[in-house]
Amino acid sequence: MKRFTWFNAVSLTLGFAFLYIPMLILIIFSFNSSKLVTVWAGFSTKWYVSLFSNDAFIDAAWVTLKVGFISSCAATVLGTMIAYIMVRGGRFFGRSLFSSMIYAPLVMPEVITGLSLLLLFISIGLDRGVFTIILAHTTFSMCYVSVVVSSRLASFDVSIEEAALDLGCTPFDAFKSVTLPIIAPAVISGWLLAFTLSLDDLVIASFASGPSSTTLPIKIYSSVRLGVSPEINALSTIMIAIVTFGVLTTSIISKRAIKRQRLEEEQAFKNG
Amino acid sequence: MSETDKTTCFEPWNEVGKKPLIEFRGVSKKFGALTAIDNVSFNIYEREFFALLGPSGCGKTTLMRMLGGFETPSQGQIFIDGKDISTIPANQRSVNMMFQSYALFPHLTVADNIAFGLKRSDMPKSEIAGRVDEMIKLVQLGNLGGRKPHQISGGQRQRVALARSLAKAPKLLLLDEPLGALDKKLRQETQFELVDIQEKLGTTFVIVTHDQEEAMTVSSRIGIMDQGKLIQIDTPDRIYEAPNSVRVADFIGDVNLIEGNATTTADDKVIISWAEGQPTLTAQTTTNITDGAKVTFAIRPEKIAMTTDKPTDASNAIEGHIHDIAYLGNVSIYKVRLSSGHMIKAQAANTRRLSRRNYTWEDKVWLSWTDTAGIVLTK
């Protein structure tokens, strides 16, 4: 926006209010000292204290973090591999079909993804638990990673890789010592995106989880059905903080990488 | 080959029994239905500076990428030092390439870029730093070793790319449009430096370029490519003075092409009748031309003399009017219209100031040249 006008100010305020007022209310009420969710009775952090002494929540949080970490690592490896093949593999039979198939899970309703995974696990006799949630989260988040990484790879001068081969690298060495350092920002933001998605997910996790493995979103959802407790507010506030951190870091990393790349290009143009 | 031979006359391609460093034997490359390289056979010798010249899309880059190991021939074989390399991957060839975009590793410093190949060779670790310094000195990069590629200028980046590709002392260095990104003045300076470096190291260079001046300046021989075929391989002067076809003559420099019918004479001369009411042209030729054959007479503008009066001793003289003058500073190009409608370009050095020029628009002039000035082409 170049100029301040009342129209711009109002639409900006309304837009952000629409997005953030619900969350703001939730954060405020997580510091409410009353047990009644809708009545303000003064500032307190007791719900945070009671949350951390609630073993069920702590267990669920631990499962969620474990699932998020392992699945986002696996998704990053697989997603990067897919992106590399799709961008660098040249033209091969069925390439455009494959590349659209990678994007399909992004628009697929989560219920369908969850249900199909559930059927798969049952049919191969895999007991549902932490492992199956990891598998399920890897499955859907690797698509996001591959989208992020392939857009970086596509804007990358192939002759840099050829130069590495020319100078005596094996293809794997060229990937490790040249390609990976250059695409690292995209790989890291892909990982953060996968991690955030895994933390958020309720639908797919509820299909893939078993009785012994409850993730935080599932736990929250099931306890809310028995009535909203201020503890949930506190927990949600913590989750908002984590997700905000993840999203901000991702965007800062990728924005910085883009800025640096543009700077390099500009300089190349000026000097060249 | 003795040392004196090298300095006086470097022509390994004329030596009988000389083994070539690189040999293309019936090489073709197809991309789907497109034939990028069409049955190419030729040799490149050690210490040569060989230029592949042609318009974009002629296949010159594909030919070079096959030498580098980034493309494999669909047909035929490529030999380096007598060994078939068609199936050897890029990282196992003693060939290095300097890329058009320079392809410097952006996350490594200048010194690390140059050391990159050395670290992957069998050179002992202790010698790498010394070799890197040597290369930095060779390309005159001074104290830029610690900078990252985006912190140096385009000309400096070009030097880093050159140093990096030469660091492993390859048998053969491939240069893909190495100076394309530099401005004209820097490019001309760098061309001479490139020749100096090549002579100093004695490495065989193969350069791909679309800039004929660049090819003429740097190379010992030029291969002219068109539509996947090598249409002439020769020294720069032969390519310019004795093109083997109309396409080569037309691609290199400026040329007048006159089509006509040839009549042979006893003394290696050809009489060309080419237009109603115009005197016939006489030209010497060494190629066999059958009587009455259709030929193209090619003559460079600078080989044509322009006078106000009809020269008495010239073997070829035609009359016309100046249609247009292009003033280029050091020379002027005169477009002369003949009564038959033909347009002939003649070039004259501007030895006098512009205000004292002899000729101007619509002046009647005579164009003349000797019978060895042009060349008779049959294809």
Q: Helices marked H in chain B — which ranges?
A: 3-8, 60-68, 110-119, 125-138, 154-166, 184-201, 212-218, 236-241, 246-251
Architecture of domain B254-377: Beta Barrel (2.40)
For the domain covering B3-94+170-247, report its CATH number.
3.40.50.300
- Chain A: nearest CA to B93, how far in angstroms? 8
Q: With bands split at pLDDT 50, 70 and 90, how would you rate the model's confidence at A272?
A: very low
Question: Which residue from B minimizes the CA distance to A173?
Answer: B120
pLDDT at B16: 80
Q: What residue type is A42 in one-letter code?
A: G
Alpha-carbon distance B63 to B101, whole Å? 18
Each residue's pLDDT tens digit, A138-155: 998 999 999 999 988 988
pLDDT at B268: 80
Q: With bands split at pLDDT 50, 70 and 90, how would you rate the model's confidence at A118?
A: very high
Each residue's pLDDT tens digit, B241-262: 889 899 999 888 889 999 999 8
Alpha-carbon distance B67 to B47, whole Å? 16
Q: With bands split at pLDDT 50, 70 and 90, how would you rate the model's confidence at A271?
A: low
Decide: A48 and A234 in contact? Cβ < 8 Å: yes
* pTM, rounded to two decimals: 0.80
Q: With bands split at pLDDT 50, 70 and 90, how would you rate the model's confidence at A251?
A: confident
Write the residue in A166, A182, A264 that is nearest to B90 by C-beta. Answer: A166
Decide: B130 and B71 in contact? Cβ < 8 Å: no
Write the residue in A166, A173, A264 that is nearest to B106 by C-beta. Answer: A264
Terminal CA-CA length for chain B: 37
Annotate B75-99 with DSSP letters as a single string: EEEEEETTEE-TTS-GGGSSEEEE-
Decide: B370 and B377 in contact? Cβ < 8 Å: no
pLDDT at B143: 87
pLDDT at B6: 45
Is A90 in CB contact (< 8 Å) with chain B? no
Domain map (residue ranges) of chain B = 3-94+170-247, 254-377
Percentage of residues of chain A with pLDDT beyond 70: 96
Number of H helices, E strands in chain A: 12, 0
A47: pLDDT strictly greater than 90: no
pLDDT at A160: 92
Alpha-carbon distance B305 to A41, whole Å? 106
- Chain A: nearest CA to B97, how far in angstroms? 7
Contacts of A178 in chain B (CB under 8 A): 105
- Chain A: nearest CA to B11, how far in angstroms? 30
B165 with A166: Cβ contact below 8 A: yes
Q: Among A107-121, A213-227, B27-41, whose mean pLDDT is lowest?
A: A213-227
Interface test with B, best of A91, A155, A167, A178 (most B CBs within 10 A): A167
A70: pLDDT strictly greater than 90: yes
pLDDT at B312: 84
Question: Where is pLDDT greater, at A25 or B1?
Answer: A25
pLDDT at B5: 45
Mean pLDDT for all residues in chain A: 86
Decide: B28 and B198 in contact? Cβ < 8 Å: no
Interface test with A, best of B34, B62, B97, B183 (most A CBs within 10 A): B97
The residues in A 230-269 lying below 8 A from B, measured between CB atoms, are 263-264, 267-268
Contacts of B151 in chain A (CB under 8 A): 267
CA A220 to chain centre: 19
Average pLDDT over residues A117-141: 92
Write the residue in B68, B91, B165 that is nearest to A170 by C-beta. Answer: B91
Contacts of A267 in chain B (CB under 8 A): 150-151
pLDDT at A105: 81
Contacts of B155 in chain A (CB under 8 A): 271
B63 to B39, B48, B349: CA distances (angstroms): 11, 17, 39
pLDDT at B185: 86
Q: With bands split at pLDDT 50, 70 and 90, how would you rate the model's confidence at A266?
A: low
Write the residue in B106, B154, B168 that is nearest to A271 by C-beta. Answer: B154
Terminal CA-CA length for chain A: 34
Alpha-carbon distance B133 to B155, whole Å? 19
DSSP letter for B151, please.
Answer: G
Report helix, strand and coil shares of chain A as percent, to nearest 5. 80, 0, 20
pLDDT at A267: 63
Write the residue in B68, B121, B156 that is nearest to A166 by C-beta. Answer: B68
Each residue's pLDDT tens digit, B202-228: 899 999 998 888 999 899 999 999 988
For the domain covering A43-271, report its CATH number.
1.10.3720.10
Residues of B with CB under 8 A from a CB of A: 68-70, 89-92, 95-97, 99-101, 103-107, 116-117, 120-121, 149-157, 164-165, 168, 181-182
A104: pLDDT strictly greater than 90: no
Question: Where is pLDDT greater, at A246 or A48?
Answer: A48
Is A155 in CB contact (< 8 Å) with chain B? no
Question: Which residue from A minimizes the CA distance to B152?
Answer: A271
Angle between helices A110-123 and A130-154 (to 10 degrees): 130
Question: Which residues of chain B carry a pLDDT beneath 50?
Answer: 1-7
Alpha-carbon distance B49 to B263, whole Å? 40
